[in-house]
Chains A and B, each alone.
Chain A
Amino acid sequence: AQTVTQSQPEMSVQEAETVTLSCTYDTSENNYYLFWYKQPPSRQMILVIRQEAYKQQNATENRFSVNFQKAAKSFSLKISDSQLGDTAMYFCAFLPNTGNQFYFGTGTSLTVIP
């Protein structure tokens, strides 16, 4: 069975600073996909970034980047130049290549402090 662990229930960061959210997962699969989702206080969940496990290069999307360590089964999200609009719940998710079921972590509540 696949599990996703986010060990930081809450985090805060000063505006313009950098913060890293951690995520680890457990799987016996070799091919899979990893995602970070953002859920702002308005509630609609949106994709932040997506990583394909067979790609060694870390995904980046503007101020968002990941540190994907396949051997360690670690998938952390780095947010650079934090903005007030980054305040949200962040969920890490795992999708095996062989299935349709997503596995989500319990989330990290991030607060950006002005």
Chain B
Amino acid sequence: SQTIHQWPATLVQPVGSPLSLECTVEGTSNPNLYWYRQAAGRGLQLLFYSVGIGQISSEVPQNLSASRPQDRQFILSSKKLLLSDSGFYLCAWNTGVGGELFFGEGSRLTVL
């Protein structure tokens, strides 16, 4: 069966510090991978998605970046965090056209 792991679950970082959130999927190959951000009480904002290794589409220009070094690994990074980067980050995957999204448990980031 397929599983998705996302970590860390909780992160408190000072402004200006770097960020690395990691997501891995098991039990499938060549998944589409997604990073979303969810602000408190609001919907999901798509940040990045990837349809293959090294292929990253950015939906929101900001100080975040994403990488896909391996088929089932998706990393969200920042060199210098801003206060506005605080939020709940969700990694997700699907198998392609029409496939449902499967979500990780999320990472709560607080930037102080």
Contact B103 A46 (CB under 8 A): yes
In the docked arrangement, what's the CA distance between A47 and B98, Å?
Answer: 13
Least Cβ–Cβ distance between A25 and chain B, in angstroms: 13
Identify the closest chain A residue to B101 (Cβ): A102
Total cross-chain contacts (CB, 8 A): 46
Number of chain B residues whose Cβ lies closer than 8 Å to a Cβ of chain A: 23
State the main secondary structure of chain A at its contact with B.
Answer: strand
User: Contact string, A28-51, partner B, CB cutoff 8 A, digits 1/0?
Assistant: 000001010100000111110010
Q: Given A100-B49, A100-B51, A101-B59, answer yes or no on A43-B42 (Cβ-Cβ < 8 Å).
A: no
Number of chain A residues whose Cβ lies closer than 8 Å to a Cβ of chain B: 22
In the docked arrangement, what's the CA distance between A18 and B111, Å?
Answer: 41
Q: Which residues of B contact A (CB under 8 A)?
A: 32, 34, 41-44, 46, 49, 51, 59, 88, 90, 92, 96-98, 100-106
